[in-house]
Amino acid sequence: MTDSKYFTTTKKGEIFELKAELNSDKKEKKKEAVKKVIASMTVGKDVSALFPDVVNCMQTDNLELKKLVYLYLMNYAKSQPDMAIMAVNTFVKDCEDPNPLIRALAVRTMGCIRVDKITEYLCEPLRKCLKDEDPYVRKTAAVCVAKLHDINAQLVEDQGFLDTLKDLISDSNPMVVANAVAALSEIAESHPSSNLLDLNPQSINKLLTALNECTEWGQIFILDCLANYMPKDDREAQSICERVTPRLSHANSAVVLSAVKVLMKFMEMLSKDLDYYGTLLKKLAPPLVTLLSAEPELQYVALRNINLIVQKRPEILKHEMKVFFVKYNDPIYVKLEKLDIMIRLASQANIAQVLAELKEYATEVDVDFVRKAVRAIGRCAIKVEQSAERCVSTLLDLIQTKVNYVVQEAIVVIKDIFRKYPNKYESVIATLCENLDSLDEPEARAAMIWIVGEYAERIDNADELLESFLEGFHDESTQVQLQLLTAIVKLFLKKPTETQELVQQVLSLATQDSDNPDLRDRGYIYWRLLSTDPVAAKEVVLAEKPLISEETDLIEPTLLDELICYIGTLASVYHKPPSAFVEGSRGVLHKGLPPRTGSIEGPESPDTAPSGEPAADQPSVIPTQGDLLGDLLNLDLGPPVTGPPMATSTVPMGAVDLLGGGLDSLIGGSGSFTAAPSSTAPTNVGAPLGSGLGDLFDLTAGVGTLSGSYVAPKTVWLPAMKAKGLEISGTFSRQVGSISMDLVLTNKALQVMSDFAIQFNRNSFGLAPAAPLQVHAPLAPNQSVEISLPLNTVGSVMKMDPLNNLQVAVKNNIDVFYFSTLYPLHILFVEDGKMERQMFLATWKDIPNENETQFQIKDCSLNAGGDGHSSTALGSCASA
């Protein structure tokens, strides 16, 4: 008998016919009809009209028919809630059936019917099934609790199912344990605060015992749950590791990866001096390599995870380079991932082999792969200094092939090589220039233009070359336009006599004929710089560039630590935290590696990262090629600019990173800040701070600004460690009669912050915010925002000790944080300084005598004291 015929019935009046068949007396005919219904349902036809007729077939002792009807019910009950009630009786009855398979089937199906009224009836049968004598029923009921929780969490709590579920963790049957663990883990995920999975050494022991006995899937549930446990000390961590390591030999790759996750996590707690630590490291390599002989899809998952593991603990796989060599028949996604890992593992010891391979890959067929291989050669050059020369000559060979995309890719990476090894390989420029005409991709064009601009003094016809690009200026992408602008300015500064015309042309193109605010702004900056102070312009534009760092594309360390906790899961495949792709509350909970508890490291100092690794060890992250813009900006405007002191304290992550972000938000240009060089309120520039642009604006604007009163450099008031990732630094300033608190809020957490508010405690001078704290857009991770909060002195007064102590509370969507700071008294002083004589005397008299102390100042030079610049304390001080 074949069932495929059910797929082919598409004639008219079909529903009607089916109805008749469903109501037929003959069992066989009924069954046939239900099959047809299911087939129609599968291909997407609406057969909900048959609901009552199908449900009528439910009461049967034919299990196959029953299963089909149940399947139908699961699909359509939601759309026909009233009629679904008809099915309840049968379900309840089936839950009492002598056959455990039928009992389980009933409870399994009932949980899938998301109709409130049915859910109520489900409770009693479920309670019985959770205590059923048959393990098959119990394991099904355990999952059913999770289903019910998904429909109505409150009901599950009220009915006490959670406790029953917890009891099942001690069940004698390993599969029941595994399903209970899975259900509890899922429920716990939506209640991050609850202590549902109350993991303690006893329950862990039970889980570890069940681990040896349950199915492969059960082992995965248990291992994934174990990974959430935090052992109390290194000895416990070691004993768990010892019991988990045998899983590394399991044929199921998911079991292996989950075991690796547990080991990688608990390893954090083990002291590096321990013999066991070394043993464990050695044990991890072979199973990871073995994963590469699995099916390609699994290889892909494994490689994405190995990529993380190699970044976290490079020592594990450092000798295994060869296994990542690409095979002819690997699917493209496996090839690309292997290439990534090869570069991460490249070192002086194996570079010759790697290069030989990469050169081979560069002649393959797949364009993406070839491009990546060429890029990889460039990265090798940057990573392994000894190989740079060979890499460059390999790249030159590749340029000779004249394959268009190879040439372009090679030029992009050669630009990076120049930045890493300046004044070493410039002899190749001539070869590069030969290929100028074949470049049609923005990135390659931009790179080439950068090279021409940077080495303009060595290229005789640099002006001609750049001019040729200028012809189609408006057709170029922004990236190329920006680069061209910068390159011509560089050229001008190097050869001012011949290129005046060119520079004027580009400046007018950029500032007058362009709609792009970035381009315009950059154009104006250069223009103003060049017209006000060419020497300064030279210092800024031709400043010595910092060398680019060795490692590119590294994942930011806190994210990496989080991803290590998600080994094997989708998060590790995407290299993104779950909150980036999971909706709702699930998975938003942050995971972190346990702190190392070994004796070597002392108490955690606030500076060290949570992983316990010294911050200095962490390689700085530089943006990928895609962030060329950010890179370029930094190149031109970055380091040597000595902006006002505010900038120095507000660059926590290294200029490059911030710049990338800064530029993004500039492009976003939502108007949430004004980067206009307003000369009246320089401190109000709300641009993403630390951005070179902001600095420059300040620089240019600074000339025309009233110097105002002294502004202390910003200091960190609230370290990120104490405020769940929010760092606040700031200072106080006084400008034209108004006091303001200049704050920089930096988000160092991984989630977006919003809903900021600020409050002051009562203080000696009644300082209070004059306006609410305005943070316009939510603060994305790693972003900062600068805010100037106007203050007044009309708040309530309470004497503080010391007098100028200010207690502040800051609130955001995460929590409320408190800190206190001292404000300089001079911000309370009015500028004019003059006070009417009578008023002064009256005020003086108001101050009680006990507040008056007298002492003599000896040897004071006269001009320091009261030569006309008498300041008067304003506000409540006098009347205090």
Partner 1 sequence: MIGGLFIYNHKGEVLISRVYRDDIGRNAVDAFRVNVIHARQQVRSPVTNIARTSFFHVKRSNIWLAAVTKQNVNAAMVFEFLYKMCDVMTAYFGKISEENIKNNFVLIYELLDEILDFGYPQNSETGALKTFITQQGIKSQTKEEQSQITSQVTGQIGWRREGIKYRRNELFLDVLESVNLLMSPQGQVLSAHVSGRVVMKSYLSGMPECKFGMNDKIVIEKQGKGTADETGKSGKQSIAIDDCTFHQCVRLSKFDSERSISFIPPDGEFELMRYRTTKDIILPFRVIPLVREVGRTKLEVKVVIKSNFKPSLLAQKIEVRIPTPLNTSGVQVICMKGKAKYKASENAIVWKIKRMAGMKESQISAEIELLPTNDKKKWARPPISMNFEVPFAPSGLKVQSRVDVRGTHPMPWREEDEKGTGAADTVSSPSGWSESCTEKPGGDIGRCHLGRQDDRRGWPGGHEHT
Give the list of residues 6+ apart from residue 597 with CB closer than 8 angstroms, or none. 233, 234, 269
CB of 134 to partner 1, least distance (A): 5
Using rule CB under 8 A, residue 563 touches partner 1 = no
Q: Please give the residues from 337 up to 366 whose contact with partner 1 meets the rule CB under 8 A.
A: 353, 356, 360, 364-365
CB of 368 to partner 1, least distance (A): 8
Token pair recorded at residue 151: 């429909």
Name which of 139 and 490 has its Cβ closer to partner 1: 139
Count Cβ neighbours within 10 Å for each residue of 259-284 and write b for 16 or more, e otherwise. Answer: bbbbbbbbbbbbeeeeeebeebbeeb
Name which of 99 and 679 has its Cβ closer to partner 1: 99
Backbone angles phi, psi at 272, to 5 degrees: -70, -15
List helix spans (H) across 421-552: 429-434, 442-454, 462-470, 478-494, 500-512, 517-532, 534-541
Name which of 302 and 429 has its Cβ closer to partner 1: 302
User: Which one among 15, 86, 136, 199 touches partner 1, defined by CB under 8 A?
Assistant: 136
Residue listed under structure tokens 């049967």? 60
Query: How many CB atoms neighbour CB 136 within 10 A?
Result: 15
Query: How many CB atoms neighbour CB 243 within 10 A?
Result: 18
Token pair recorded at residue 652: 């926590």
Euclidean distance between CA atoms 824 and 791, whole angstroms: 14
CB distance 640 to 540 below 8 Å? yes
Using rule CB under 8 A, residue 581 touches partner 1 = yes
Token pair recorded at residue 462: 């640099």
Euclidean distance between CA atoms 469 and 268, whole angstroms: 54
Using rule CB under 8 A, residue 853 touches partner 1 = no
CB of 79 to partner 1, least distance (A): 12
CB distance 577 to 563 below 8 Å? yes
Q: Please give the residues from 175 up to 194 whose contact with partner 1 meets the rule CB under 8 A.
A: 175-176, 179, 182, 186
CB of 358 to partner 1, least distance (A): 12
Name which of 35 and 127 has its Cβ closer to partner 1: 35
Using rule CB under 8 A, residue 536 touches partner 1 = no
Name which of 340 and 476 has its Cβ closer to partner 1: 340
**Dihedral sign (CA 206, 209, 212, 213):** negative
DSSP string, 258-296: HHHHHHHHHHTTS-TTSHHHHHHHHHHHHHHHHGGGS-H
Name which of 192 and 331 has its Cβ closer to partner 1: 331
Name which of 211 and 739 has its Cβ closer to partner 1: 211
User: Which one among 272, 282, 586, 776 touches partner 1, defined by CB under 8 A?
Assistant: 586
CB of 177 to partner 1, least distance (A): 10
Q: Which stretch binds partner 1 (CB under 8 A): 139-147, 273-281, 378-386, 671-679?
A: 139-147
CB of 307 to partner 1, least distance (A): 14
Name which of 331 and 704 has its Cβ closer to partner 1: 331
Euclidean distance between CA atoms 571 and 563, whole angstroms: 7
In the shown chain, the binding pattern of residues 424 to 463 toward partner 1, with x for contact by CB under 8 A and - for none, equals ----------------------------------------
CB of 491 to partner 1, least distance (A): 38
User: Which one among 184, 267, 298, 382 touches partner 1, defined by CB under 8 A?
Assistant: 298
- Least Cα distance to 613 among 554, 550, 560 occurs for 560
Name which of 102 and 462 has its Cβ closer to partner 1: 102
Name which of 253 and 608 has its Cβ closer to partner 1: 253
CB of 322 to partner 1, least distance (A): 4
In the shown chain, the binding pattern of residues 303 to 322 toward partner 1, with x for contact by CB under 8 A and - for none, equals -------------------x
Residue listed under structure tokens 């010892």? 242
User: Which one among 569, 733, 746, 782 touches partner 1, defined by CB under 8 A?
Assistant: 569
Question: Under DSSP, is residue 768 helix (H, G, I), strand (E, B) or coil?
Answer: strand
Euclidean distance between CA atoms 758 and 792, whole angstroms: 14
**CA end-to-end distance (rounded Å), the chain:** 99
CB of 813 to partner 1, least distance (A): 21
Name which of 215 and 532 has its Cβ closer to partner 1: 215
Name which of 295 and 852 has its Cβ closer to partner 1: 295
Q: Please give the residues from 22 up to 41 whose contact with partner 1 meets the rule CB under 8 A.
A: 35, 38-39
CB of 374 to partner 1, least distance (A): 16
Amino acid letter, 321: M
Name which of 41 and 873 has its Cβ closer to partner 1: 41
Query: Which letter does DSSP use for residue 750 in this model?
Result: S
Q: Which stretch binds partner 1 (CB under 8 A): 16-24, 109-117, 159-167, 632-640?
A: 109-117
Name which of 232 and 327 has its Cβ closer to partner 1: 327
User: Which one among 11, 12, 13, 43 touches partner 1, defined by CB under 8 A?
Assistant: 43
Strand partners for 730: 715, 743
Name which of 571 and 743 has its Cβ closer to partner 1: 571
User: Which one among 192, 201, 278, 286 touches partner 1, defined by CB under 8 A?
Assistant: 286
Q: How many C-alpha atoms does 34 have within 13 Å on its Cβ side?
A: 27
CB of 158 to partner 1, least distance (A): 21
- Least Cα distance to 85 among 117, 126, 129, 127 occurs for 117
Q: Which stretch binds partner 1 (CB under 8 A): 136-144, 807-815, 839-847, 858-866?
A: 136-144
Longest dimension (CA), the chain: 119
Query: How many CB atoms neighbour CB 607 within 10 A?
Result: 10
Q: Which stretch binds partner 1 (CB under 8 A): 79-87, 144-152, 605-613, 656-664?
A: 144-152
User: Which one among 173, 479, 516, 678 touches partner 1, defined by CB under 8 A?
Assistant: 173
Question: Under DSSP, is residue 102 helix (H, G, I), strand (E, B) or coil?
Answer: helix
Count Cβ neighbours within 10 Å for each residue of 864-878 and write b for 16 or more, e otherwise. Answer: eeeeeeeebebbbbe
Name which of 31 and 490 has its Cβ closer to partner 1: 31
User: Which one among 552, 572, 597, 729 touches partner 1, defined by CB under 8 A?
Assistant: 572
Using rule CB under 8 A, residue 147 touches partner 1 = yes
Using rule CB under 8 A, residue 397 touches partner 1 = no
CB distance 280 to 267 below 8 Å? yes
Amino acid letter, 655: A
Residue listed under structure tokens 């004589």? 837
Q: Which stretch binds partner 1 (CB under 8 A): 133-141, 451-459, 469-477, 493-501?
A: 133-141
Token pair recorded at residue 868: 């006309």
Euclidean distance between CA atoms 639 and 647, whole angstroms: 11
Count Cβ neighbours within 10 Å for each residue of 428-447 and write b for 16 or more, e otherwise. Answer: bbeebbebeeebebbbbbbb
Q: Please give the residues from 193 up to 252 whose contact with partner 1 meets the rule CB under 8 A.
A: 212-217, 220-221, 224, 243, 245-247, 249-252
Using rule CB under 8 A, residue 44 touches partner 1 = yes
Give the list of residues 6+ apart from residue 664 with CB closer than 8 angstroms, or none. none
In the shown chain, the binding pattern of residues 66 to 105 toward partner 1, with x for contact by CB under 8 A and - for none, equals -xx-xx---x----------------------xxxx--xx
CB distance 164 to 131 below 8 Å? yes
CB of 738 to partner 1, least distance (A): 47
User: Which one among 92, 573, 651, 880 touches partner 1, defined by CB under 8 A?
Assistant: 573
> Which H/E stretch holds residue 162?
helix 161-168
> Which H/E stretch holds residue 510?
helix 500-512
